[in-house]
Structure 1
Amino acid sequence: MSELYKFDIEKGKIILGVDEAGRGPLAGPVVAAAVKINEYHDFFEEINDSKKLTEKKRENLFEKILTFCDVGIGIATVEEIDEVNILNATFLAMNRAIEDIKSQNINYDIVLVDGNKLIKNYDGNQECIIKGDGKSLSIATASIIAKVTRDRIMLKFSEIYPEYHFEKHKGYGTKLHREILLEKGPLKIHRKTFLKKILSNF
């Protein structure tokens, strides 16, 4: 049994793990996931913080998590990010992921959320876990679901806008992405509030 699962068990409650992907990129939505683990499986031994896993490993685990766990997904759009700021948009996505779980009539006692901030406008029992995706199995699985879901969205954008190479940087502010922005300018999927330091006339 993994140390991450032991962390969850020691809470003595039915846990819903919540995490997000995409707070930092210059383009694309922020995606949150909520995951409830119903029973332990051997593949959980392979799970750690999604950032430490290869893309291939995340994709493989993603399908297993969907098969054996209860999963909710929430998305906040680029427009919402620009309107309410990235932190509030992240809370919006997290609340939507939890609502997705509730819509499936899935019961839980407490939400464990990755980070040092409680989810704004969520009135249920919750606890924030700093570096939770490396401590809690429920949060770690949510991290994988959120990351893979967002990456797949960005891969679709790479097909629509091939010259921006979203398949390579997933919207993050890499050297390549910044150079393309300076040359070609922003798209509607770029976060306007994130571009002011890069594009002085924006």
Structure 2
Amino acid sequence: MNNLREFDERYEGTVLGIDEAGRGPLAGSVVAGAVIIPEYFSELDEINDSKKLTEKKREKLFEIIMEKCIVGIGISDEKEIDEVNILNATFSAMRKAIDRITEKAEFDVVLVDGNHKIKGYKGKQEEIIKGDATSLSIAAASIVAKVTRDRMMVEIDREFPEYKFAKHKGYGTKLHREILLEKGSCKYHRKSFLKKILGNEDQDEMSKEKNSKRKSGNKVDENRGLKLF
């Protein structure tokens, strides 16, 4: 039997697994995936540690998970990350993903990848270190989060092809840092992440954006109308 499946079956009732993608990048949103697996299906045997899957395999499993599982996706964009910090923005994305699931199904416990419980979530939850290599529902959620975010970065690349977002997905690669030094940041960059690269210029811009946001009272647009799937 699949060891990840065995782990989830230790829990009584319905398990919801949740994971995020995009805490570390210099640009783009942090995305949370939440997954309930209503019944086991054979393709899940292809999931072991989801971080070891190829992009092609992730894409294939993503489509199957979206079809056969109950899925919620939560997004906190770069503006929210700069406003509340990355950890709180991650919790926010996770709560949004759980809210999507709550609209569709009931569950008994949330299994969270990592070593933090979700701040602000009042339901029963348990943090699972290296959860995407331990729990099947978390591994499935990891695939959902990763593929969703990668597709968002490909969409952003079409708007700003000079930044090569489709290639590095916003992470701080050598290529990405070189482009930042040459061109500066664009609207999808996390200004709070760029101080060591660009100095205070982007920090000043971030402060202006925060002040403008407070005055206008505009809400954060969580997906900007991007076509994700």
1:136-151, aligned counterparts within 5 Å?
Answer: 136-151=135-150
What is aligned with 2:170? 171
Which structure 1 segments of 5+ residues have no match? Answer: none
Structure with bigger RCO (C-alpha 8 Å, 6+ apart): 1
Paired position in structure 2 for 1:155: 154
Q: CA deviation at 1:13?
A: 2.7
**1:19-45 superposed Cα distances (whole Å, 9 cap, x missing partner):** 000000000000001100011111111
User: In structure 1, the residue corresponding to 2:195 is in which secondary structure?
Assistant: coil
- Equivalent residue, structure 1, for 2:65: 65
**Which residue of the partner structure matches residue 190 of structure 1?**
189
Distance 1:188 1:164 in 2: 12
Residue aligned with 2:198, SS? coil
Q: How far apart are residue 200 of structure 1 and its match?
A: 1.7
Q: Distance in 2 between matches of 1:84 and 1:34?
A: 22
Task: Quote the offset at 1:51 in angstroms.
Answer: 1.9
Query: For the pair shown, which has the larger CA radius of gyration, 1 or 2?
Result: 2
Q: Residues 96-135 of structure 1 correspond to what in structure 2 (within 5 A)?
A: 96-104=96-104, 106-135=105-134
Give the ranges of 4+ consecutive aligned residues of structure 1 lying more than 6 Å apart after TM superposition.
Answer: none
The answer on whether the counterparts of 1:50 and 1:147 sit within 8 Å (CA) in structure 2 is: no
Q: Helix, strand or coil for the counterpart of 1:28? A: coil
Identity score, percent: 66
Q: Offset at 1:12?
A: 2.4
C-alpha distance in 2, partners of 1:76/1:103?
Answer: 19
Cα separation, 1, equivalents of 2:52 and 2:14: 26
1:42-64 deviation per Cα after TM superposition (whole angstroms, max 9, x unaligned): 11111133321111000000000
Q: Deviations over 1:96-155 (max 9, x none)?
A: 000001122x01000000000000000000000000000000000000000000000000
> How far does the alpha carbon of each residue in 1:53-97 deviate from its partner, in whole angstroms, 9 at most, with x for none?
111000000000011100000000111000000000000000000
Q: Give the 5 Å matches for 1:73-88.
A: 73-88=73-88
1:56 maps to what in 2? Answer: 56
Letter in 1 for 2:31: V
Q: TM-score scaled to structure 1, two decimals?
A: 0.98
- Partners of 1:157 and 1:44 lie apart in 2 by 31
Q: Which amino acid aligns with 1:158?
A: D
2:212 — aligned with what? Answer: none
**C-alpha distance after superposition, 1:146-188 (max 9, x if no partner):** 0000000000011111111111100000000000000000001
Give the length in aligned residue pairs: 201
In 2, the alpha carbon distance for the partners of 1:99 and 1:66 equals 17
Structure-2 residue corresponding to 1:43: 43
- How far 1:11 moved relative to its partner? 1.6
Say if 2:206 is the partner of 1:200.
no
Counterpart Cα distance in 2 of 1:3 and 1:173: 34
Unaligned runs of 5+ in 2: 202-229
How far has the Cα of 1:10 moved from its partner? 1.2
Letter in 2 for 1:162: P
Q: What is residue 17 of structure 1 aligned with on the other side?
A: 17
Q: Is this contact kept in 2: 1:49–1:143, CA < 8 A?
A: no
- Give RMSD over aligned pairs: 0.7
